[in-house]
Amino acid sequence: MDKKSIVIVDDHQMIIDGLSRIIQEIPGFELLTTYHDSIEALKKIPIWNPDILLVDLEMPGLNGLELIRRLKQDFPELKTILLTMHLDRATVKEALSLKVNAYILKNLDEFELRIALEKVSKDQNYYSSPVTEVLNSKSRQIQKTSNSQIDELSNREREVLKLIAEAFSTKEIADQLSLEVSTIETHRKSIMRKLNTRNVAGLVRIAIQEGLVS
């Protein structure tokens, strides 16, 4: 069997070093190269054409999920393993919708990585237990809605979110759209429910993250 080739993308050299060392100790895998800049990685990874992509979630510029989303468009067969420091439900769900093949926490031991690599190379998926816990614990809340964040919003809601993120007050938004304040409040509540956040700060973050406003 051929060795499975790996490319790592993580903005922290220390993490890259750690990962590299672990991978070298696992037979059957070969580390092609590493990137600490996700934008550069996006350009260069097609050239390397690895079997498996090991990518950090939290990165400046382009985060891990966005990187995966764009690469999967052109290379749907690429296996991806997402590394993260903190768990949040929305991200886990988005990762699932992107068919990320493994999702592991950085602060767990290296066996996690080994297992993830071996599973993924056998066309299986792997999610570390805290990840699945997060999903199960909240699954009753939404039942079936596989919310890929902002796509669940209606046009009107997206419009309102945009204005909220531009720091307009509810009254200003109402005036601008010629609607009642209560209507904007209703929309805001719906948006918060759908995006799973409990205050405007969360809304603004997501809106900016999703490029709704710059």
Q: Is 124 in the site for its own copies (CB under 8 A)?
A: no
Residues 70-129 that bind DNA (CB under 7 A): 97
Helix, strand, or coil (residue 162): helix
Pairing of strands 79-84, 102-105: parallel
Residue 186 interacting entry, from its own copies, DNA, none, C-beta within 5 to 8 Å by type: DNA
Q: Which stretch binds its own copies (CB under 8 A): 11-19, 68-76, 92-100, 118-126?
A: 11-19
Distance CA 84, CA 55 (A): 9
The structure tokens 């809601």 sit at 157
Residues 46-75 that bind its own copies (CB under 8 A): 58, 60, 63
Residue 17 interacting entry, from its own copies, DNA, none, C-beta within 5 to 8 Å by type: its own copies
Nearer to DNA (CB atom), residue 68 or residue 104: 68
Give the shortest CB-179-to-its own copies separation in angstroms. 18
| Total number of residues that touch DNA (CB under 7 A) | 23
Q: Is 5 in the site for its own copies (CB under 8 A)?
A: no
Distance CA 211, CA 77 (A): 27
Q: Angle 157-96-38 (CA atoms, 0-180°, nearest 5)?
A: 90
Q: Are 165 and 208 in contact (CB under 8 A)?
A: yes
Q: Is 21 in the site for its own copies (CB under 8 A)?
A: yes
Distance CA 151, CA 183 (A): 21
